[in-house]
Structure 1
Amino acid sequence: MPTPAWQKSSYCPEGNSCVHVTGERASGAIRLTESGDPSGAILTAAPAAFRSLLGALKEERPRD
């Protein structure tokens, strides 16, 4: 399997403490990692679940 091309979040400042995302063409799964090291912890989500996550993150809600 080829090495995935990770994309850093546009909301991330310089450095590697960021969310990175990639997609798997064969399965359609979305993969997320919390740093620039793709060998670190990786979360896999279905496209619909990822869209829901993005929608929730984009909603403007007061923080506690």
Structure 2
Amino acid sequence: MSWQWQLGIKEIGLSSSEEDHFVDITGGVGVGYDLHSDVNAYALLNAGVWANLANFEPFCNQKGG
């Protein structure tokens, strides 16, 4: 079992001249495999939200390695 979570504030570029700060809440779960004593592999599915007073954007992404 693998997992990840994150809570913070990110500065995101909205266009070439605009930037804004968003609260970032992200969490995810996945699976991990021991391929060898020194080699591991994992697959992780994250979901979360970026939000500020004017915008709310849910998202989902996957990671692997």
Please tell me the TM-score bracket, short chain as reference: 0.3 to 0.5
User: Which structure has the bigger radius of gyration?
Assistant: 2
Higher share of residues assigned strand: 2
Higher share of residues assigned helix: 1
TM-score by length of 2: 0.34
TM-score by length of 1: 0.35
Q: Which has the higher contact order (CA 8 A, sep 6+)?
A: 2
